[in-house]
Structure 1
């Protein structure tokens, strides 16, 4: 045990990490930083050191830490009522749902809590629609999914994952899914049969490294789904709500899905909020008692979610992500050939493929952390940049400068 006289900042961090890891299941491998407070795009650790947050909780903090508008909405509601369950009505859910439906151009909202819950809900809705509306024979419904997908880690969702870490030792798995290559519309069309009820797709694959499909792909998915009477379900949990420079990543190619799956940023980084948004001819298949959540649509979540939707309705954050995103991709693109193999993404969201002969993605993230920049790796040598949309341009430039310095150090050997 260290004494007050000999305690160093590294000791403080190590003790905080030990206290957590002694009792918390090891289902994550976090970087060795212990955040104690945050504001905007910056977080401060237990020793007082500041870091630029360039992950934004996987896009859950799109509007920055401690956003004053969102905190005010939460504080006001905290003094009134926070939870009623859906056994009763509350005065916040209706206005929130209406505003969210309007933002999506739809007419019905199913409120839930987490992104994985939204995906699970979308699957149930698609199956019920298939049986009750399309006329698929009982228990024969299938859903087309994409290779390299990430939609969560529940048992049903990992049943159609091709990530060994997510699947190993968690079977038996849920049937009813067919996997096709991401970005291949011909393969998608060939996989659909009379029992297909939905196509579930990320407009941009986040966990796979911020992978953007060919520009013609999502319009082709829309056309195929319409022609074959199949629901087009867009998982916009990471890509939606301003991240890509548009309200939804689908907007970038002028596509409107049948169902939006939303989460993460919908809760403003304050409370978990998710939703399935579509029209009543689809969501209307749900009947009382067939699906629910004690916390889904609670007054506190609805108040915060409504504030998020009002912020997005102005278009200010989408424009900011679009303008700063262009700068981010231009500057990251300048590093290709200098330790970077490729850069891909949209808006303030970028996957950077590091030359594996230099370092793994994890190693680059650790070197960036030492310089005060927090990012996260995925799939070996790819790192993801997703700073809060409120990040300052000067901080964005500084972030890329730190990556350039790390790469230069690695090349110098």
Structure 2
């Protein structure tokens, strides 16, 4: 089988709206390595867009899924419940950084988690309004597209979107947006668009994913918590991309001394199986009436079994600590590359959520062209990298946290060469 043949079949069989980045087709994978149908080997620094913090096919995850497969694959939890769902909720409730007792509900996708967090927030506050931020990404359903602060490619041709959604500025030192600027943008929303007593929730990613791995400053989180407390607004942390050890903590909100009321999670929660969750304060989570939350596949038993294994692996293999160590080495390489690469304008990181941003050194404008060149150079040497950012001028690094040391060093050497002029 050839990649080129499969590509022709893809173009005939699937719509152009499903954009595909790579021209090669996966045949098998192990930890941080992919092999395509032609036998080429690739170091995977995409990890299914931050889904594989525990790597491809971790033996403990495979074993957990196989064991569940022998028992049952589906009952619909809302019809016939099962213990593994309850015990996973208990484990997450013990770990989420929220005030007081917590409760958790499971769904299938990150967008579903965000939609349900909105439902819960509206049910609790009896208010319609939602405030979110430019550059944020929250999903591809209509409500989550409305929340997403990036037009291309997510919103083009799909409007109108649900109302009562307003976008503030997200702090970004590299782009000259301070915490004070961001908080002023919220004040303007409250003056011009919606009264604060009509806002159910403020939702944000503690580190923006698609937006360019922009890390929320500590004083911004404190100011948001204070604003929410003043006006009876809920604070929702979207941890779909930041969760499960990626930032050096189980959740990115653990880096801050403030706590959200609700949290959404997905991606690396189940090590490649489709599972998402909303966790939060028990009183808030209990706001919807019985039957108000759920879904046919929500909390699928195979995915739940995988998630139990993921939590075990993170603890046993000390992946939070490893995320901090690997991220430190990568940041060092990127900072050292600045001498030979004048395109680099910013290197930012929280644990292993690492990004490098490129501008044209002549014009100072964002350079998606140079970003693509770096990606292409790395790909020629067998390293898969992802871009992001509102201007497409950021490379993000999403290697499995279980990557072997020798392979990580090899990848760092490829990155060094790809950045040199």
TM value normalised by structure 2: 0.88
Which of 366, 379, 382 matches 2:376? 366
* Alignment size in residue pairs: 390
Distance across 2 between alignment mates of 1:362 and 1:263: 28
2:120 aligns with 125
Q: Secondary structure at the match of 1:324?
A: helix
Query: Gaps (5+ residues) in structure 1?
Result: 1-10
- 1:212 Cα deviation after fit: 1.2
Aligned to 2:142: 155
Aligned pairs (5 A) from 1:14-413: 14-26=4-16, 27-85=18-76, 86-105=78-97, 106-131=101-126, 136=127, 141-165=128-152, 166-183=154-171, 184-188=182-186, 191-192=189-190, 193-269=196-272, 271-314=273-316, 316-339=318-341, 340-356=344-360, 359-378=369-388, 379-408=391-420, 411=421
Partner of 2:174: none
Offset at residue 315 of structure 1 (A): 7.5
Contact 1:218 1:250 in 2 (8 A): no
The alignment's C-alpha RMSD in Å is 1.8
In the other structure, the counterpart of 2:176 is none
CA contact (8 A) 2:149 2:167 kept: no
- Structure 1 residues 154 and 360, CA gap change in structure 2 (3 angstroms): farther
- Bigger drift between 101-110 and 290-299 goes to 101-110
Q: Which runs of 5+ in 2 are unaligned?
A: 172-181, 191-195, 362-366
CA distance in 1, matches of 2:187, 2:6: 52
Q: Contact conserved, 1:93 with 1:299, CA < 8 A, in 2?
A: yes
Query: Is contact 1:62-1:243 (8 Å) kept?
Result: yes
The Cα shift of 1:29 comes to 3.1
Which SS does the other structure have where 2:355 is aligned?
strand
Task: Provide the rounded CA distance (Å) in 2 between the counterparts of 1:399 and 1:351.
Answer: 15
1:101-129 CA distance string (max 9 Å, x none): 11215521111000000011111111111
How far residue 221 of structure 1 moved from its aligned partner, in angstroms, is 1.5
Secondary structure at 2:57 match in 1:
coil
State the distance in 1 between where 2:161 and 2:243 align: 29
CA distance in 2, matches of 1:392, 1:215: 33
Kindly provide the CA deviation profile for residues 222-257 of structure 1, in whole angstroms up to 9, marking residues without a partner as x.
222123211110000001110011111111123321
How far did 1:352 drift? 1.4
1:322 touches 1:347 (CA, 8 Å); kept in 2? yes
